[in-house]
Structure 1
Amino acid sequence: MNPNETPDPNISGENKETTPAPIEYDVEEFKISGDDLLAKIRELIEEANVRRILIKNAEGHTLIEIPLGVGVAAGVLGATLFPILAAVGAIGALVAKLTIVVERTIRDEDP
């Protein structure tokens, strides 16, 4: 601010609005074979608190990242995620040992 300017009384140096608490995430890893990959991914997608799923190969390189909204409905599962599930099935057929990294939203117990 220029020293010759008068400060605006409507603007204060403090942020009066309350900022929401940051969202916390829990990360879990599963070692799985390619044969069981598709079944495990379907199971994880149906869970309400899963935010993101990463599938990595044995060297730790990410093969696919699946971002999920909160609470994917079962009816939407087949139509919207069919191309992703097809890709996951192809990865499972080609790769023997995989790691699934699951990022879950931690829910507060407040009402």
Structure 2
Amino acid sequence: MDERLDQQKRTFTEEIEIAGNELVERVKAILAEGNVRQLRLKAEDGDIYLETPLTIGVLAGGAVALAAPWLAILGVIAAMVTRVKIEIVREEEEDQGQKPAG
């Protein structure tokens, strides 16, 4: 049971708003960071255009190549919208072996 807890990682969510014409380049940069668990594209009113789980964090360098089909979809979405929100769920790096003093 302890092993399962060690394998779980904390996640946090951030949301950024960008112009539609910046969408593909911004998503490429986000994927290159490698700690992304899930990506959602939302309209200004909150409607979700695209939601996809990403388990490519360990592949880092090849992440953009593997995401090529998604990038094509993003290009179509980018052409249709003026502003879009990107909600990114990331994994938080935890220091293994460090425990609070006390």
Report the TM-score when normalising by structure 2: 0.81
Partner secondary structure for residue 40 of structure 2: strand
For 2:68, give the aligned amino acid: F
Structure 1 portions without partners, runs of 5+: 1-16
Deviation per CA, 1:16-67: give whole Å up to 9, x if none: x434154311100001010100000000011121111110011101111132
Q: Whose radius of gyration is greater, 1 or 2?
A: 1
Of 58-67 and 91-100, more deviation after overlay is shown by: 58-67
The equivalences for 1:66-81 within 5 A come to 66-69=52-55, 70-78=57-65, 80-81=66-67
- Alpha-carbon distance in structure 2 between the residues aligned to 1:75 and 1:42: 11
Q: Give the alignment's Cα RMSD to 1 decimal.
A: 1.7
Aligned to 1:30: 16
Structure 2 unmatched runs, 5+? 98-102
Does the residue aligned with 1:51 lie in a helix, a strand or coil? strand
Alignment of 1:72-91 (within 5 A): 72-78=59-65, 80-91=66-77
Check conservation: 1:45, 1:72, Cα contact below 8 A. no
Determine if contact 1:46/1:72 at 8 Å carries over to the other structure: no
Rounded Cα–Cα distance in structure 2 between residues aligned with 1:72 and 1:96:
31
Mapping of 1:49-68 within 5 angstroms? Answer: 49-68=35-54
Give every structure 1 segment of 4 or more consecutive aligned residues whose post-TM-superposition deviation is greater than 3 Å: none
Task: Count residues in correspondence.
Answer: 94
